[in-house]
Amino acid sequence: MVVSDTAEKIKKMEIRGAGRIARAAVAALMDHAASATARDAASFRNEMREAAALLQGTRPTAVSLPNAIHRVMRSLEGDTPTVQELRDHFIVACRNFISSSEAAIERIGAIGAGHIQEGDTLLTHCNSEAALACLIAAQRKGISFEVYATEVRPGNQGLLTLKTLNEARIPTIYIVDSAVRSVMREVDRVIVGADAVTVNGAVVNKIGTSQIALAAHERKVSMMVAAETYKFAPRTILGEFIRIEERGPEEVLPAALAKKLPYVRVKNPVFDVTPPEYIDLIVTEEGAIPPQMAYIILRDYLGWSTGDFGGNSPGATENFDV
Ligand code: RI2
């Protein structure tokens, strides 16, 4: 797909979910590389940087997006004599990212399923392929359980979750977002995805997640997060915050109605931050960790340290919006 089309679809949330947008962006860069017209390595790198910047600017919160772009853009570093070699190298890096991202979901599913027990009642929020992979893998292991799935105002991503759970024949109860605390007494564990994980183990996920975590904490219900390691945010090592995306008011209040209410204004933050104290476990493809181990993932598995942020390499990290 053309880069600008993919960028538009990510912006409009026709392509959504932190993992999916990362793979879609990398797939678009791969197509772009295949059809790039540049005749020398320097212009090829520039062409790819422009495309990467367009994709990276689409949604500010999901760290999977800049992390994925950075990972493939890194393959353009070094001395590669011809455009063809550079292109081949880049395409291999893109394919590797996409397949490792898919393998991570499988692995998270297998690890997460080990934390689901016979007869459990779970609760999930929004539509996370990593969280759903855990539920589907548990179902395949023959464990019986049921799931509360939230509606997820204003985007209604809960409907996507219902469809997936129904296809997997997992008994599911659909609730409005505000019913979470009422049903928490029946819940054994909460499982959600993540758009970003900070160095101190805080989890940024769909708005409402932190309220769910509070309600779970109150009743000592276990809170599990399923997240690929490329959702861990390197620049939080420097103390930077994750920018929380705010989307348009019309997603919450129809424009025609808003016109009749001149004293009313809408605030529409689409993510919130759950502090590590309210999280029991983060299931990654490298294993299930307590949130306090997030720094170890960034340092030992992803190889980031505070000294990594000064350079101006292709896919430069200075554009990371985290
Ligand atoms: P996976 C989604 O964001 C949700 O917040 C979801 O929990 C998270 O990405 C992770 O999803 P949005 O794109 O990567 O719906 O696990 O705003 O699919």
Confidence of residue 6 (pLDDT cuts 50, 70, 90): very high
Starting at the edge strand that comes first in sequence, how are the strands of the sheet with 172-175 ordered?
A: 172-175, 146-150, 121-124, 189-192, 222-226, 281-284, 287-289
3-state secondary structure string, 111-169? HHHCCCCCCCEEEECCCCHHHHHHHHHHHHCCCCCEEEEECCCCCCCHHHHHHHHHHCC
Query: Which residue, judged by its Cα, is nearest atom 9 of ligand 1?
Result: 17
- The pLDDT assigned to 309 comes to 67
Lowest mean pLDDT among 55-64, 74-83, 134-143, 231-240: 74-83
- Beta carbon of 321 within 6 Å of any ligand 1 atom: no
- Beta carbon of 157 within 6 Å of any ligand 1 atom: yes
- The pLDDT assigned to 316 comes to 31
Mean local confidence (pLDDT), 163-192: 98
Ligand 1: which of 16, 21, 128, 177 to mutate, judged by most atoms within 8 Å of the beta carbon? 128
Q: Which atom of ligand 1 is nearest to the CA of 193?
A: 7
In whole angstroms, give the CA distance from residue 322 to residue 320. 6
Pairing of strands 222-226, 189-192: parallel
Tell me which residues are annotated as active site.
126, 195
- Beta carbon of 228 within 6 Å of any ligand 1 atom: no
Ligand 1: which of 9, 20, 63, 127 to mutate, judged by most atoms within 8 Å of the beta carbon? 127
Full set of structural domains in the chain with CATH:
3-105 (1.20.120.420), 107-301 (3.40.50.10470)
Lowest mean pLDDT among 44-58, 221-235, 254-268, 308-322: 308-322
In whole angstroms, give the CA distance from residue 46 to residue 275. 39
- Beta carbon of 55 within 6 Å of any ligand 1 atom: no
- Beta carbon of 196 within 6 Å of any ligand 1 atom: no
pLDDT in tens, 231-279: 999 999 988 999 999 999 999 999 999 999 999 999 999 999 999 999 9
Determine contact, residues 102/59, Cβ cutoff 8 Å. no
In whole angstroms, give the CA distance from residue 233 to residue 199. 7
Tokens matching residue 284: 């990654």
Ligand 1 mean position to 204 CA, how many Å?
10
Confidence (pTM): 0.93
pLDDT in tens, 129-140: 999 999 999 999
The residue among 80, 78, 112, 76 whose CA lies nearest residue 94 is: 76
